[in-house]
Amino acid sequence: MKTDITVSISQELLQTIFEGARRLYPKETILLLRGEKKKNSIKISELVVPPLATHGLGFANIPLHMLPMDFSILGTVHSHPSGNLTPSTTDLNHIFGSILMIVGFPFADERNIAAYNRDGKMLTLQITKP
């Protein structure tokens, strides 16, 4: 079941995420998502590299307590080299912010991305074109 919340991200930011994920493949990449949250919509406007060099450690190894207490950080995006877009139990137990975004191999188009809320429910994703 989907919630009525829509997450929007530009095609350009999505490509940036995909490029980072491809570069680190088969390791995982993780980025923080910054943007604006309204009642029924979440708009991602910027990607932030986590303050620590966490690349390749896997999502569970990110020290979430070290992340900035910044309310413009809406959540995280990380890659699944397996291509599976379903959040793992570990992912769901380590949600930071209000959304969990997952990109999956081959990191090519909008079929390779999904967004979830804190309860693991899939959110509607809108890819905005310039």
Q: Which residues bind Zn ion (CB under 5 A)?
A: 59, 88, 91
Nearer Cβ to Zn ion (82/128):
82
CB of 128 to Zn ion, least distance (A): 25
CB of 51 to Zn ion, least distance (A): 20
CB of 129 to Zn ion, least distance (A): 27
Nearer Cβ to Zn ion (8/76):
76
Non-local (6+) Cβ contacts of 55 within 8 A are 24, 27, 28, 29, 30
